[in-house]
Amino acid sequence: MADYLPAIRWLHLLAASVWTGGLIVLGALVVALRRAGVEREVLRAAARQFGRVSWAAMAIALVTGVAQVEASGYAWSYGRLHLKLGLVALAIVVALVHQLTARRTRPAVRGALEGLVLLISLGIFAAAVGLRAP
């Protein structure tokens, strides 16, 4: 698998960028669209499409992340890896709660959850930068 490690890393970074970058773009886009008076159904359609893309990206990031750990020789007990994995799990849970409750929560609550997912996702990147083989 070591021969494929650069490709796995590239795919992992691409997927993580799609997830986190998409959060940033969608956040800015929703604000602009709301100010422009776009109908709520258009916003919902954009959110649904982002959901499809972002959940696929998260699945790819998870699979390639596990593959990197296995191929790189990281110990699963490595503390910083646990931090990153914990943040990933937290991002998934908060994003899922947001997605499942979005239709019945106020815009302020939805915005807070979206902001929280973004902050956690940025924390994942920070944890990843700090990862070094023990």
Full domain range(s) for residue 20? 2-130
CB-based contact 46:29 (threshold 8 Å): yes
What tens digit of pLDDT does each residue of 44-89 get? 899 899 999 999 999 999 999 989 888 877 666 667 788 889 999 9
Name the burial class of residue 104, with classes exposed (0-12), middle (13-18) and buried (19+) by CB atoms within 10 angstroms of its CB.
exposed
The domain tally of the chain equals: 1
- Residue 1's pLDDT is 58
**The domain spanning residue 66 has which CATH number?**
1.20.120
What tens digit of pLDDT does each residue of 74-132 get? 666 667 788 889 999 999 999 999 999 988 999 889 889 999 999 999 999 888 887 76
Collect contacts of 128-131 with beta carbons under 8 A, ≥24 apart: 128/16, 128/84, 130/80, 131/74, 131/78, 131/80, 131/81, 131/84
